[in-house]
Amino acid sequence: MVFREIISQFVFVNRPITQRLDRVIGNFNLTLSRWKVIDFIERSGSCTLVQISRHFSIKKPSVTRTINLLEEKQYVEQTPGRDKREKRIKLTALGKKVHMKCRDTLDRIERDLLKGVSVKEQKALLRLLAIIRDNLKRDGSLNG
């Protein structure tokens, strides 16, 4: 049955990819989960804790801890939002520099991992993974 092989392949490749990326990110004194938050903030320009929490389907206290650690490293800063309760999070100059260095390194690795996969196939895979992610959200598996 094809569906079993698909899930088996996901499980098979997930761990080694995660371990490889984690090792590389570790060279920048980050974890993969903290890197993902930095990358999300960079792509967003600025965002709130709630936006990060929703995007990654993780609870707000976990996001708060991550942001506090990134603030200690001076990679992010919080600024007042539209109302007093909302704070906007953005990368500092140092955070942008670290992001750029990490992104360049990861781009090389990610391109290497996708060697032999056409752009058309990559787009199809991305579309299919989005459907699977939506299914996980719908059944509650990604709700932190």
Per-residue model confidence as pLDDT tens digits over 46-98: 999 999 999 998 999 999 999 999 999 999 999 987 777 788 999 999 999 99
Q: Around Cβ 81, how many Cβ atoms within 10 Å? A: 13
Domain ranges of the chain: 2-113
pLDDT tens for 14-29 read 999 999 999 999 998 9
Which H or E element spans position 88?
A: strand 87-91
If phi > 0 it is left, if psi is from -120 to 50 it is alpha, else beta; for residue 124 that is alpha
Mean pLDDT of the chain: 92
CB of 30 within 8 A of CB of 115?
no
CATH number for the domain whose boundaries are 2-113: 1.10.10.10
